[in-house]
Copies of this chain bind each other. A is one copy, B any other.
Amino acid sequence: MRYYADVTMTTRWLTEEEQRTWRLFLQACQSVFAATDAQLARDSGLPHGYYEILVHLSEAPNRALRMTQLARASTYSKSRLSHAVARLEERSWVQRRDCETDRRGQIAQLTDEGFAALAAAAPGHVDQVRRSLMDVLTPDQVEQLGEISAAIIAAAACPAEECHEADNF
């Protein structure tokens, strides 16, 4: 039997090569993310994607972003972001402010404390990214990976598919 059970006959199955690649890709991603998540959790008590949120805020003008923009930047759903920011607010790493020009709006603002936490977490994180990814690949491969990633993102961005999943985006 093949990797994927065959039922309809009309499906275009994956070739051996594609199958192999898909599995390797899955495993590689898991290994990279497991390592970086573990490192962040260990060294900064930062749960998974929260670091990304802080990074995006730290780069925004004034270290502040509207919730929706922040969600888009972090590829978080609005709901997920709302919960996440609530936790970050409990730790005083982020503060919510009302938006002046749109009274529905909320602005997430990175606090000094939050910035300090991020600054403390960054070196270890970068180090882990090196160990898990960059130092493991040749410069050519890094370039290839960039191009491959860009192609994937581009394909996902448009393709007349349902981009309108209820809450997300």
Contacts and interface: CB of A to CB of B under 8 A. Distances in A.
Contacts of A38: 165
A136 B155 contact: yes
Contact of A134 (B3, B14, B52, B146): B14
Nearest to A133: B152
Interface residues of A, number: 73
A168 B30 CA distance: 13
Contacts of A151: 136-137, 141
Nearest to A139: B17
B3 A59 contact: yes
Copies per complex of this chain: 2
A55 B3 contact: yes
A156 B133 CA distance: 9
A152 B134 contact: no
Interface string A60-101: 000000000000000100000000000000000000000000
Interface of A: 1, 3-8, 10-14, 17-18, 20-22, 24-35, 38, 52, 55, 58-59, 75, 115, 118-120, 122-123, 125-127, 129-137, 141-156, 159, 161, 165, 168
Given A20-B146, A30-B75, A14 B126 contact: yes
A130 B7 CA distance: 17
- 6 closest residue pairs by CB, A with B: A24-B149, A28-B149, A5-B119, A136-B155, A31-B156, A4-B122
